[in-house]
């Protein structure tokens, strides 16, 4: 069971990774380290098939994140797109984000993914 978010979340210093075990390849699922200044949110991420990735955007009034991303993959592809992330609070207090994403370019696609905050006592890599 999750709780709806009624206000803004401060993402600064939080780390997230995929909630789906099947996305872990190579050294594991990508880990994103988030930063926030006022309503601007950005992150760096890497791991698994992602050599390096970045996202940047804004936290809107209802707590959602409106983001764009770009990443370089291990197969040398460069991928970009946009994502709207909707937060939920898990029973243990961590944040879970539902990511409604759209990939641009020759391999354009859309989908939904979930990422969860890494607990402070868990290793991030």
pLDDT tens digits, one per residue of 47-80: 999 999 999 999 998 889 999 999 999 999 999 9
In CATH, the number for domain 3-117 is 2.40.128.30
Closest to 116 (Cα-Cα) out of 91, 98, 100: 98
- Where are the domains positioned within the chain? 3-117
> For the whole model, what pTM was predicted?
0.85
Residue 82 has pLDDT above 90, yes or no: yes
């Amino acid at each position: 069971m999750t709780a709806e978010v009624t206000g803004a979340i401060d993402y600064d210093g939080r780390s997230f990774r995929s909630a789906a075990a099947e996305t872990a390849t190579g050294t594991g699922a990508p880990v994103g380290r988030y930063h926030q200044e006022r309503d601007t949110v950005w992150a760096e991420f890497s791991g698994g098939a992602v050599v390096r990735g970045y996202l940047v955007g804004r936290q809107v009034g209802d707590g959602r994140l409106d983001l764009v991303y770009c990443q370089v993959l291990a197969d040398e592809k460069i991928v970009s797109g946009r994502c709207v992330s909707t937060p939920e609070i898990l029973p243990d207090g961590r944040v879970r984000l539902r990511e409604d994403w759209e990939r641009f370019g020759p391999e354009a696609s859309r989908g939904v993914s979930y990422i969860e905050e890494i607990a402070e006592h868990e290793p991030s890599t």
